Structure 1
Amino acid sequence: MNDPWKVKGRYHVTRQIPFIDLKTASTALQASLQARMNAVLDHGQYIMGPEVAELENSLQALTGSPYCITVSSGTEALLISLMALGVGPGDEVITTPFTFIATVEVIVLLGATPVFVDVEADTCNIDATLVEAAITERTRAIIPVSLYGQVPDMTEINQLAHTHGLKVIEDAAQSFGATYQGKKSCNVSGIACTSFFPSKPLGCFGDGGAIFTDDEVIANACREIRVHGQSQRYVHTRVGVGGRMDTLQCAVVLAKLERFEWEVGQRLLLGESYNARMDEIGIMRVQQKPDRDSVFAQYTIFVDQRDRVQAELESRGIPTAVHYPVPLNEQPAYRHLGDSKRTPVSATIAKRVMSLPMSPDLALEDQAYIVDKLGEVVARFSEPLEV
């Protein structure tokens, strides 16, 4: 095949598209970011300064959740939430094996046992129809993950939890800003956790996170746990951790909130544009259900011969990533905790998922280029690829 992009065995890279464009957003908010950070430098309250409460109030208003507690990371948010519920040795927590390691890591750190439930093949979110069969007398909580920016079937999961007297913690690290049946992610269950890691839909300049809840008792417990279990200065009423979100990082998120509504809108537009283009060229993609949207923390498709596709796209200046290549119940540190044969969908999609460049500032012409080259690469697999 005569390929105009190939010259002497190498491709001319006419552009280099960032996988996530963080620079453009920071440049657009430079004045606000600088003003917010200067304010912290002026008052010098680097830990639990006034920006912490201001951010918590802003996030409550944005999500509709009655309580918000900022913490040092999304991982810490999950850990503190489980600690507030008293989860520990002998307890079981139901979750998905197809997610980032933090979801399961915190369960094991507390001495509890993760119980893995398989995911849906089209959304990659936990399959709510399989959850009830996993409930035992030792089950304390369910942690569904809002993967790739889309909330899973929380109505069904919440109903099961209510029936069996369990707590639900939405792992919303990838879905902040998304909606589900008219409600915001982080306000669709009794407890929710999100992350402000830089690449997330709402990110800071380091680590940060937040816990949301509708329960005042849980909220107070989380506040105490994040400051070493203190109920007042040097009075430690429970076991805690050093889990506070730095004031400077709160200031960064406050500045970035100014642009967040626009960014969510752009994510929705770009995600739908990607969807239409993928459907046109016949590429399988993660599906979104009609009663919810997605903030497309990643834009993920399904491909065969993934390594080959990635290499071909990279040669054209298109970076890709895999979220996630190995299910958690197949990871060396965790495989003894769950039989991967019981989660065949997770095992299958882990070999096929591939994420494309996605961020609010992705140019439509760059998106068109990505899809065009993807289509060329996949089409060429009907014949041997030139090396």
Structure 2
Amino acid sequence: MTVPFFAMNHSFSSALPLLEEGLDAFLDQSGWVNDKQVRLLEQAIEVYTGAPFAIATGNATDSLIISLMALGIGPGDEVIVPCYSFFASLSCVLHVGATPVFVDIEPGGYGLDCALVEAAITLRTKAIMPVHLFRQMVDMQALKVIAQQHRLWVIEDSAEGIGMRWDGEHAGLIGDIGVLSFFPTKTLGALGDAGMILTRDPLLASRVRQIMDNGRDAAGLAQCLGYNSRMDDVQALWLRARMLELEPDIARRAAHCAAYDEYLEPLKQWVQRPVTLARDCLQRTVNYVYLIEVPQRDALAAFLTARHIGTEAYYPLPLHLQPVCEYLDYQSGDFPVAERASTRALGLPLYPDLTPASIGLVCTAIGEFYAAQGTAQ
């Protein structure tokens, strides 16, 4: 039996009739990029998240770059980012010519450790970029206090955050600007790359729309150096169809995680299961990845691969140790929590179409691996 890391055959098939129903209207449009279907998706996301402004883009990485540009961040500026994240959290800062300043993560939560942020602030700091990872949000209450005290922008990397809420507010709307990703593996996935920018600020929304469309204004005149990152209408049409199953899919993911928790309970001497960190504000978690921490992570991953079980290591090399950052002179040992996680964290298969039998198979294989090792170190 094969258990891929990600598969959505059934869920995608169920959305195809809805996609086909919309194709007639799509084919009758005069424009197929950043047109009517994109406007309808933006409106749907505004309703779902409560965002006053949702602007569709080509992908979430572009969304981060455009957000930095809209805030006027560039050469000479510093942006505080977690050292444990997808590479885009670093590359977006480098793309605008700014300098990333890394901060370690919260143990067990994997988000920016807000207790360490103030020590990283300098006179050149212009923004903080928290990343909401795997299943829960960064402590946005603490982060907002720091940002307000030091007059810093907050750019929320909510690429994994669709459906997550902090005290009733959707991820991406607590800071000044936020992004969503619709990469196919995400909780709300497109057929290819697609992203979204959220903000409450009408001026920022206007700047974003101009930048993402080659810097052009409503008359088509280039007012600034912009970016070509417009969403295809077919992606917008597909995402609108998939949104009908978003909340049921979130519930299915939660049920799968509960099943993993139960299966892995007897293995707790080896397997650290996901936790929800205690917060002062009520938060809604959404399970994007079921992330465990284990000894001999890479050997376990190879063992599972040999049994046709897909996994994903998160993140094998922290951002501060990436070759592109050598000029910043960070060293191994600078951020111990992230560096430890980078050798131990492993994502297990998690998607709505996953079956209880598949979850049992994965957990049985993990148990077999550690039984053969005879160690809990």
Please tell me the TM-score bracket, short chain as reference. over 0.9
Q: Determine which of 291, 309, 324 is the counterpart of 1:333.
A: 324
Conservation of the 8 A alpha-carbon contact between 2:103 and 2:335:
yes
Per the TM alignment, residue 66 of structure 1 is displaced from its structure 2 partner at its CA by: 1.2
Q: Determine which of 278, 301, 304 is the counterpart of 2:264.
A: 278
Conservation of the 8 A alpha-carbon contact between 1:69 and 1:223:
yes
Which residue is 2:338 aligned to? 346
Letter in 1 for 2:151: G
1:351 match: secondary structure: helix
Conservation of the 8 A alpha-carbon contact between 2:55 and 2:198:
yes
Q: Residues 334-363 of structure 1: CA distance to partner in whole angstroms, max 9, x if unpaired?
A: 232251432111111101111100001111
Q: Determine which of 157, 166, 169 is the counterpart of 1:171.
A: 157
1:18 match: secondary structure: coil
Letter in 1 for 2:108: D
- Name the TM-score, length of structure 2 as normaliser: 0.94
Q: Aligned pair in 2 of structure 1 residues 268, 182: CA closer, same or farther (>3 Å)?
A: farther
Per the TM alignment, residue 37 of structure 1 is displaced from its structure 2 partner at its CA by: 3.5
Asked whether 1:254 is paired with 2:246, we answer no
Asked whether 1:127 is paired with 2:113, we answer yes
Which residue is 2:171 aligned to? 185
Letter in 2 for 1:335: E
Q: Determine which of 85, 99, 108 is the counterpart of 1:99.
A: 85
Per the TM alignment, residue 167 of structure 1 is displaced from its structure 2 partner at its CA by: 0.8
Conservation of the 8 A alpha-carbon contact between 1:115 and 1:338:
no
Distance 2:129 2:316 in 1: 21
Which residue is 1:76 aligned to? 62
Conservation of the 8 A alpha-carbon contact between 1:281 and 1:375:
yes
Asked whether 1:365 is paired with 2:353, we answer no
Q: Aligned pair in 2 of structure 1 residues 348, 335: CA closer, same or farther (>3 Å)?
A: farther
Q: Residues 247-284 of structure 1: CA distance to partner in whole angstroms, max 9, x if unpaired?
A: 11111111111111111111122223323333342010
Distance 1:25 1:37 in 2: 19
Q: Aligned pair in 2 of structure 1 residues 357, 188: CA closer, same or farther (>3 Å)?
A: same
Per the TM alignment, residue 181 of structure 1 is displaced from its structure 2 partner at its CA by: 2.6
Q: Residues 255-314 of structure 1: CA distance to partner in whole angstroms, max 9, x if unpaired?
A: 111111111111122223323333342010232224334322211111111222112212
Distance 2:137 2:335 in 1: 20
Which residue is 2:307 aligned to? 316
Q: Determine which of 252, 255, 262 is the counterpart of 1:266.
A: 252
Q: Determine which of 275, 285, 294 is the counterpart of 1:287.
A: 275
Per the TM alignment, residue 150 of structure 1 is displaced from its structure 2 partner at its CA by: 1.6
Conservation of the 8 A alpha-carbon contact between 1:132 and 1:160:
yes
Which residue is 2:201 aligned to? 215
Per the TM alignment, residue 217 of structure 1 is displaced from its structure 2 partner at its CA by: 0.6
Distance 2:22 2:325 in 1: 42
Conservation of the 8 A alpha-carbon contact between 1:224 and 1:230:
yes
Long gaps (5+) in structure 2: none
Distance 1:123 1:17 in 2: 26
Conservation of the 8 A alpha-carbon contact between 2:250 and 2:287:
no
1:62 match: secondary structure: helix
Distance 2:30 2:221 in 1: 25
Conservation of the 8 A alpha-carbon contact between 1:71 and 1:211:
yes
Give the share of equivalent positions with the same residue, in percent.
34
Conservation of the 8 A alpha-carbon contact between 1:48 and 1:244:
yes
Distance 1:256 1:279 in 2: 33
- Name the TM-score, length of structure 1 as normaliser: 0.92
CA RMSD of aligned residues (A): 1.5
Letter in 2 for 1:379: A
Q: Aligned pair in 2 of structure 1 residues 199, 43: CA closer, same or farther (>3 Å)?
A: same
Per the TM alignment, residue 211 of structure 1 is displaced from its structure 2 partner at its CA by: 0.4
